Amino acid sequence: MQNLLELTTSHPLLSLAIVLMAGLIGGELVVRLHMPRVTGWIATGICLGALQLPQLELGTLKAFWPLTDFVLGYIAFSVGSHLNIRNLRNAGKRLFLLLATEATITPAVVVCVMYFLAGFPIEVALVFAAVAVAQAPGTTMLVVRESRSRGVFTKTLIAAVALIDMVAVLLFVVIDAELSGPNDTISGPWFLITSLPHALETLAIAAAIGGATALLVIGVARYVVGRKLLGAAMVAAIVISWGVADEVGVSPILAATFVGVALANILEEEERVGQRYVDSFSDVLFTAFYTLAGLRLDFSMVVPLAGMVALFFAARMIGKIISVFTAMSLAGAIKSLRNYMGLALLPHGGVAVGLLFFTQTDPAMAAHADSILAIGLAALAINQLLGPSVTRFALVWAREAGKEKPRLLDFLREQDIICDFKPKDREAAIRKLADRLYATHDVPIAKEEYVARVLQRDA
């Protein structure tokens, strides 16, 4: 039996086959228990890691890094493709406030807990804070898709996880830049401000790489391969943006996200066609990615650090709940957003996994890299085992689960609604409605001509 195991795991593709098959079976078993499939994938990976099969030990999993990098890029791309500016017009205030509180309240709670209670150096506590801010966009989208959710709560949730991940990456870049300085430590309490130009430069370079890659895809799709291969061109775009960003030393996750953002706002309809092509094999990618994430959890390091794991998990959850409640209250958002969005943001993975893995190759974090990875992955595993179910319950409590079906209400989109509408006369009313129409739709005639026709008809 041992010889058979050694034979079947002597090649990376055979090892990947074992991971895929085990993940598929584990995910299906968990679905039959009325739990999200991603929970089963993580649990299956943990079980495979405990078995310590040949070629599936922690030391041999580096062979799968290109696959996990691609899936991280795909997740970032998919989330970015949901950031259509016109569709998020009315959500701008609550999303802006949420980003502000996520960049301040959640990190502050995590830093206080990991520095004062867990006793880690301030540098390590700040790394934990950046990791804690990150979301699990892949998990969130899977839960939304499985629960067939739709509505204001769902739209805000998907947009929020994309933007919050950008905040997490920027925080990580700022902290890493500070630790990579001459003293390998935090220079003072104002380092976030002094390092901000570097973070903005990183953001600009990533946006430029993502935008240029998107334009390349558009050009190839329109003038070379045609619309039928747009999906394949998108796959190439993910790989290109990740590789170029990694080569020039900026965040590949941000670059892939900006590819999705650019395509969603330039192509729109064509982008949805290409997205469906990529989505057709997403289940295989997610199965491998999350099962491998579970495999990377080293319980020999987790057990002695169980108290730290519990503190990090609790600090992140409390920070998220306080952050969301504060932001949604200031924005005057509906009750479901105030009360349940914090719980819906509990899943942790995707970008967080990438940030944890980056600490393993970063010389500035070498002294604490193993502890950061063990605590981060263990807390992430708990979040992935519990988070998807909590997110689904939040969608149910928000009364948006099962709403992904044709309804009369679907003809009314949030971005097409103007609140507090108080024009001074009929013409002002028509002009204000026309402004909103042209801000959210592509109308084939000039706005002034359109307004003139409406006024003529109305007369």
Residue 327's pLDDT is 93
Reduced to 3 states (helix: H, G, I; strand: E, B; else coil), residue 88 is: coil
pLDDT at 319: 94
Mean pLDDT of 331-351: 86
Distance CA 334, CA 101 (A): 18
pLDDT value of residue 399: 87
**pLDDT cut 90: percent of the chain above it:** 11
CA proximity to 287, closest of 56, 50, 28: 28
C-alpha to C-alpha distances, 38 to 67, 247, 299, nearest whole angstrom: 18, 32, 20
Inform me whether the pLDDT recorded for 154 exceeds 60: yes
Torsion angle of the four alpha carbons 125, 130, 133, 136, in this order, in degrees rounded to the nearest 10: -120
Tokens of 405: 């079906």
- Cα 10 off chain centre by: 34
More confident residue, 297 or 397: 397
pLDDT in the model for residue 141? 78
Tell me the C-alpha distance between 58 and 374, whole Å.
Answer: 12
pLDDT attached to residue 275: 62
Say what the pLDDT of residue 1 is. Answer: 42
pLDDT for residue 4:
44
pLDDT of residue 227: 67
Tell me the CATH number of domain 64-408, given options 3.40.250.10, 1.20.1530.20, 3.40.920.10, 1.10.3720.10. Answer: 1.20.1530.20
pLDDT score of 187 more than 60:
no
| Mean of pLDDT values over 21-48 | 81
* Most distant CA atoms of the chain, gap in Å: 87
Does residue 348 have a pLDDT over 50?
yes
Residue of higher predicted confidence among 102 and 39: 102
Residue 243 pLDDT exceeds 80: yes
* For the chain, domain boundaries: 64-408, 418-458
Return the pLDDT at 109.
Answer: 95
Residues 6+ apart with CB under 8 A from 130: 107, 168, 171, 172, 175, 355
How confident is the model over 275-316, as pLDDT tens digits?
666 666 677 888 888 788 777 766 666 677 788 888 999 999
Tell me if 39 sits within 8 A of 290, measured CB to CB: no
